[in-house]
Copies of this chain bind each other. A is one copy, B any other.
Amino acid sequence: MPELRQEPITGNWVIIATERNKRPSDFPARHEERNGGTCPFCKGNEKLTPPEITAYREPGTHPDEPGWWIRVVPNKFPALDNNSADLAIRHNFYTGMNGTGAHEVIVESPEHDQSLEQHDPAQMREIFWAWRDRHRALMARAPIRYVQIFKNEGAIAGASLEHPHSQVIATPLIPTVIENELEGAKSFFVDRGTCPYCEMIAHEEAVGDRLIAGNKQFVAFCPYASRFPFEITILPRRHLADFSGLDDSMLEDLSVIVKVTMQKLTASLSRPPYNLTLHTAPAGFTEAPYYHWRLEILPRLTIMAGFEWGTGIYINPTSPESAAKYLRETAI
């Protein structure tokens, strides 16, 4: 069983994935399964994954057989394990607990070579429908307190399989990144009486030079303090802390803005490696007047080095204003 361990001074958590216990000879283990071999996520290869959790499939077809257009399966090498709800929290000088949670894969298409921005609008909507389904299902399960949905594209960004997919990891604790955001947002709210993300949208639209695209319910922009060249934030205009609270019309608009934004990014940088991450409210904070769910798109064009590790300060060689201008002006 994997183990969750807390750094005693900063409170940051790590997962020690002991099952995979890698020895020195296992590194570098960056080989990809993309060339050669059989893709376990392709149509017809359903038996190569653990039994499916759920799938959107044609009537009359059966689980773990073709006929699906979105398929959710357990991760074969889970970072957190869902076979036990027992955390068995231990304290000595340090604090640790069982690596209880869940780790799932959302296969975004039966087609191997379809990247996110290439899906037709209906398929895009189905992907985010699956995100919402899994978010709701896992948030309802004890002892889960946070559900992280993310997507890695390209080997440099940590993708080990090429077939389009996103991943879901559910944790029994509130991650530090989210805890820090909640704390900062709450303190902004105490000072000014408004949600800082709602204010940010208003400010970005007033200034305009970091905007990329927008529609009725969403806005995409390069954040003021971008850590990475071409970093992108997508925020819903309506105040909503919890991704699970997304209604069907928002889901429709979300799929459109993600497609447009990713088309622009892909066209500007010729399919860059990237990570896409959801930030949303943890259990107990879903109605917070100061928090606001969002997507972050992080192109992996620069390398995190000693200065970043030591300080948390990122050096970004492309201003968000110039990145946004490129993206805004890129025809799709």
Contacts and interface: CB of A to CB of B under 8 A. Distances in A.
Interface of A: 5-18, 20-24, 26-30, 79, 92-94, 96, 146, 148, 150-152, 155-159, 167, 169, 171, 175-178, 180-181, 184-185, 188, 196-197, 199-200, 203, 223-227, 229-230, 268-269, 272, 275-279, 296, 298, 301, 303-307, 309-320, 322, 326
Interface centre among A178, A226, A311 (most CB of B within 10 A): A311
11 contacts: A5-B224, A10-B180, A12-B225, A12-B312, A14-B313, A14-B314, A16-B226, A18-B319, A79-B315, A171-B313, A177-B312
A28 to B, nearest CB: 6
A152 to B, nearest CB: 5
A246 B287 CA distance: 51
A312 B175 contact: yes
B310 A277 contact: yes
A contact face: mostly helix, strand, loop, or mixed = mixed
A181 B301 CA distance: 29
Copies of this chain in its oligomeric complex: 2
A185 B22 CA distance: 32
B303 A158 contact: yes
Interface centre among A175, A199, A316, A320 (most CB of B within 10 A): A316
Contact of A276 (B30, B176, B278, B306): B306
A94 B322 contact: no
Interface centre among A146, A225, A319 (most CB of B within 10 A): A225
Contacts of A14: 225-227, 313-316
Contact of A22 (B27, B94, B310, B318): B318
B22 A229 contact: yes
A322 to B, nearest CB: 6
A167 B307 contact: yes
B27 A316 contact: no
Nearest to A320: B16
A269 to B, nearest CB: 5
A178 B188 CA distance: 22
Nearest to A28: B301
Nearest to A229: B22
Contacts of A296: 309-310
Given A11-B184, A79-B307, A171-B311, A317 B17 contact: yes
